[in-house]
Amino acid sequence: MTAPTTRTTRAPGRGESAAEVLEPVLHELFAGPPPFALRLWDGSATGPADGPTVLLRHRRALRRLLWQPGELGLADAWISGEIDVDGDLADALSAVRRALAGRTVGRPAPRSWPALLSAAARLGVAGPPPPRPGGRAKVRGALHSRGRDRAVISHHYDLSNEFYALLLGPAMAYSCAYYTRDDQPLQAAQEAKFELICRKLDLSPGARLLDVGCGWGALARHAARHHGARVTAVTLSARQHAHARTLAAEAGVADLVDVRLCDYREIPADAYDAVSCVEMGEHVGRDEYPAFAARLHGLLRPGGRLLVQQMSRGAVAPGGGAFIEAYITPDMHMRPLGQTVDLIEAAGLEVLHTEAMRPHYARTIDDWRAELTRQHDRFAALVGRPTVRLWQLYLAGSSLAFAEGRMGVDQILARRPGGGQETVRPAGWHSG
């Protein structure tokens, strides 16, 4: 592989440029030329002409990285508007990841520190740590205590019902959609996902469904409206709870959908025909999942069905990484699909079917990203530009993780043994 050719340009009419000072620092960090072009606040530039271009709009970004090198320092600089990219953020992140493949980015050797400190002084970036942008989660208490879990859910899901309605569309479904054709719009793909779940759960008129982690109630409304199910829908988000009740009434299914504000550990004992859990299991926690799976088993009648849709990830960064854990969903834990299947089976449930949906999530997130771009100014008016930038970074990184296979999402269908003979159906029956 040929190393990129570095080109450094100086801002006209000035002395030593920021690019000239920074170029040897970048070579030290990347053990060679950087894999991206860099345009700096003084108009100078350095880096390969054919790579992605990072815009360093303010020297404060470098001070952040001095105090907090790595993912969180970069995220803070992005959210604050001190770093930008030329073009699509996900494309730039992907190009940098490809360029860095097989290369080591390490801490400078001790012998390099005098030169680095001199460069920092010449660039005017030495000084106290800059204030952090807003938006980091503030959670206290024992890990996965009920109070802490409530605070974590509130941090992310109580942002703004208006924001989520604009981003997610009429269904207000904040989970992977199911695309059945290339030209299918997001709303139709979400409805296809709801229908897929209802078919897998074998819902019929009068069936009792428990939806754990119901969000704004989209699946509950679909199950009631199209299958005549009687749904108990549970959320830990106060804003979701209030809005889901309103949406059920507007859809004319309030008599079939009972939305409750409670922790899954507080759901009264019962014997439901079916239980759904769509992208809520990630919030349960590593050590708590066996008890969670046992709780789901106990809430099903013999012969009842469970549908879990859940994100999967390998051993690296099971919480999603420093940025996700600080800004988006602290305390989250993901695991490989096989481990989740093992935990469900250990709870006494029989796993009937699994379905991988990873490519669907990359497309779902890209549809959300497109809406965030298309209506940028409306989003900014609702939550402020720093929060919009936070979401740009979150969605771009998430899209890339699914597209590159570093994350997955799967549907797991299981049943509680007993309840008479199970009906045998041909393969693919649930697809309609």
**Side by side, which strands form the sheet with 350-356?**
257-261, 230-235, 208-212, 272-278, 300-313, 407-415, 350-356
Structure tokens at 293: 């799976």
pLDDT digits (tens, 9 = 90+) for 139-155: 999 999 999 999 999 99
Alpha-carbon span 233 to 247, nearest angstrom: 13
Shared-domain flag, residues 77 and 219: no
Shared-domain flag, residues 348 and 265: yes
Range name among 257-261, 301-305, 375-379, 426-430 with the lowest pLDDT average: 426-430
Q: Tell me the one-letter amino acid at 427.
A: A
pLDDT interval class at 8 (50, 70, 90): low
Structure tokens at 183: 């030209």
Per-residue pLDDT, averaged over 45-67, amounts to: 92
**2: in domain:** no
Shared-domain flag, residues 368 and 242: yes
The domain that contains 390 carries what CATH number? 3.40.50.150
CA-nearest of 59, 105, 99, 106 to 83 is 59
Shared-domain flag, residues 42 and 159: no
Q: Give the range of the structural domain holding residue 260, as residue numbers without chain letter.
A: 146-431
pLDDT interval class at 10 (50, 70, 90): low
Shared-domain flag, residues 196 and 283: yes
Please check whether residue 272 is in contact with residue 210, taking contact to mean a CB–CB distance below 8 angstroms.
Answer: yes
- Percentage of the chain surpassing pLDDT 70? 93
Shared-domain flag, residues 85 and 151: no
3-state DSSP assignment of residue 73: helix
Please check whether residue 330 is in contact with residue 152, taking contact to mean a CB–CB distance below 8 angstroms.
Answer: yes
pLDDT at 432: 57
Q: Which residue has the higher pLDDT, 316 or 427?
A: 316
Structure tokens at 147: 């109070």
**140: in domain:** no
3-state DSSP assignment of residue 311: strand
Q: What is the DSSP letter of 33?
A: S
Quote the Cα angle for 85-89-92, to 5°: 75
- Judged against a pLDDT cut of 70, whether residue 13 lies above it is answered with no
Q: How far is CA 256 from CA 210, 215, 229, 271, in A?
A: 12, 17, 7, 17
Q: What is the DSSP letter of 335?
A: B
Q: Which residue has the higher pLDDT, 2 or 292?
A: 292
Quote the Cα angle for 361-364-367, to 5°: 150
The distance from CA 419 to its chain's CA centroid, rounded to whole angstroms, is 38
Backbone angles phi, psi at 231, to 5 degrees: -115, 130
Shared-domain flag, residues 262 and 358: yes
Shared-domain flag, residues 46 and 78: yes
Range name among 91-100, 157-166, 254-263, 402-411 with the lowest pLDDT average: 91-100
Show the beta-strand stretches assigned E in 74-189: 83-85
Last residue of a domain, one of 92, 123, 154: 123
Interstrand relation of 83-85 and 53-56 (parallel, antiparallel or unpaired):
antiparallel
Shared-domain flag, residues 224 and 106: no
- Residue identified by tokens 């080591």 is 104
Shared-domain flag, residues 110 and 57: yes
**13: in domain:** no
Quote the Cα angle for 335-340-345, to 5°: 160
Alpha-carbon span 19 to 123, nearest angstrom: 10
**136: in domain:** no
pLDDT digits (tens, 9 = 90+) for 333-342: 999 999 999 9
**134: in domain:** no
Please check whether residue 390 is in contact with residue 87, taking contact to mean a CB–CB distance below 8 angstroms.
Answer: no
**85: in domain:** yes
Q: Which helix (H) or strand (E) holds 230?
A: strand 230-235
**284: in domain:** yes
Q: Is 246 exposed, middle or buried (0-12, 13-18, 19+ CB in 10 A)?
A: middle
Shared-domain flag, residues 219 and 364: yes
What pTM does this model have? Answer: 0.92
Domain count, the chain: 2
- The residues, ordered by sequence, that sit 6+ positions from 90 with a Cβ below 8 Å of its Cβ are 369, 396, 397, 399, 400
3-state DSSP assignment of residue 107: coil
**199: in domain:** yes
Strand partners for 354: 412
Shared-domain flag, residues 52 and 172: no
3-state DSSP assignment of residue 369: helix
Alpha-carbon span 56 to 45, nearest angstrom: 10
